[in-house]
């Protein structure tokens, strides 16, 4: 599915109704404030951010616009990558530090911080990588790829308990699921440049705003695509389940398992996200239909 081609065929108003903006949040504002700023600037009914960043943490904060908010549950529960600086409280050798950091790679048990908004109960999280990028004195520049919902500040605190103490000085999220600060196709934009794009849009030039809008159809890059026939599109858009007779090609469903999430398309027109049933008389049930 060519997302850029889909984007090129849409008007700016259509894009605004079903897109995501990859905001580069600075240290200071809350994620909620940032999402609301986008909402007010574009005069939208609704926005939502994909994964909260603490006020003092900067970096990738995707903000979904209007109907794209319904995609959150499929997009946000994915790995996040962070780069940060931790300060060691005592003298630790490089070899001991590396060894202790590697002990945290894999599944760990975390107790959310006291000030977190979630229930304070132990939970399992997976640390994919936890690496040193640079060391200067007691300050360690690190990078870590983690399961969604992992508290990096707590990770650093728990690491410090193993070797004389440590705390986090700075933290930046560089990747959140599909969204990356370096991706040329889904560009990150700070609030200053976002505001400038809005100002130009209001003056009749939508080029800068169009550039930063990521079509909601991006969901098709992480969920399997199943095509339906043109003559059943109207039925699908009014909430009908997908029946075997609706399908263009049954080959697309051969590798699917019951309860897999799938994207239904008719050519390059996105219909919605469905739950695959895989029965003889029923292919899938709708979870979100873009009507």
Which residues are known catalytic residues? 54
Sign of the CA dihedral with 163 first, then 169, 173, and 174 last: negative
d(CA 284, CA 258): 9
Cβ neighbours of 28 (radius 10 Å): 10
Residue from 110, 115, 103 nearest 152 by CA: 110
The side-by-side arrangement of strands in the sheet containing 282-289 is 225-227, 261-266, 269-279, 282-289
Name the β-bridge partners of 86. Answer: 140, 168
Q: What is the DSSP string of 17-70?
A: HSEEEEEEEPSSS-HHHHHHHHHHHHT-S-EEESS---TT-EEEEEEEEGGGGG
Phi and psi angles of residue 82, each rounded to the nearest 5 degrees, phi first? -130, 145
The length of the chain is 291
Locate 227 and state its tokens: 């095509």
């Amino acid at each position: 599915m060519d997302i850029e081609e889909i984007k090129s065929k849409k008007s700016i108003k259509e894009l605004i109704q079903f897109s995501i903006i990859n905001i580069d949040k600075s240290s200071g504002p809350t994620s909620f404030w940032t999402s609301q700023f986008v909402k007010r600037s574009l005069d939208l009914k609704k926005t939502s951010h994909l994964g909260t960043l603490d006020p003092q943490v900067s970096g990738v904060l995707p903000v979904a616009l209007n109907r794209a908010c319904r995609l959150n549950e499929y997009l946000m529960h994915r790995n996040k990558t962070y780069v940060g600086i931790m300060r060691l409280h005592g003298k630790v050798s490089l070899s001991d530090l590396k060894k202790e950091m590697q002990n945290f790679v894999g599944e760990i048990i975390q107790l959310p911080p006291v000030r977190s908004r979630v229930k304070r109960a132990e939970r399992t999280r997976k640390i994919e990588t936890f690496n040193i990028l640079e060391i200067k004195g007691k300050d360690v520049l690190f990078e870590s790829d983690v399961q969604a919902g992992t508290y990096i500040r707590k990770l650093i605190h728990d690491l410090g308990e193993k070797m004389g103490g440590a705390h986090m000085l700075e933290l930046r999220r560089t990747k959140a699921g599909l969204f990356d600060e370096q991706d040329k196709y889904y560009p990150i934009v700070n609030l200053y440049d976002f505001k400038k794009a809005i100002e130009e849009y209001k003056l009749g030039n939508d080029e800068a705003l169009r550039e930063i809008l990521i079509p909601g159809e991006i969901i098709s890059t992480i969920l399997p695509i199943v095509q339906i026939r043109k003559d059943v599109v109207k039925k699908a858009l009014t909430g009908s389940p997908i029946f075997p007779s609706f399908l263009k090609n049954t080959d697309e469903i051969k590798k699917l398992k019951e309860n897999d999430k799938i994207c239904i398309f008719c050519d390059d027109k996105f219909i919605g996200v469905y739950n695959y049933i895989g029965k003889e008389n029923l292919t899938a049930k709708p979870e979100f239909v873009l009507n």
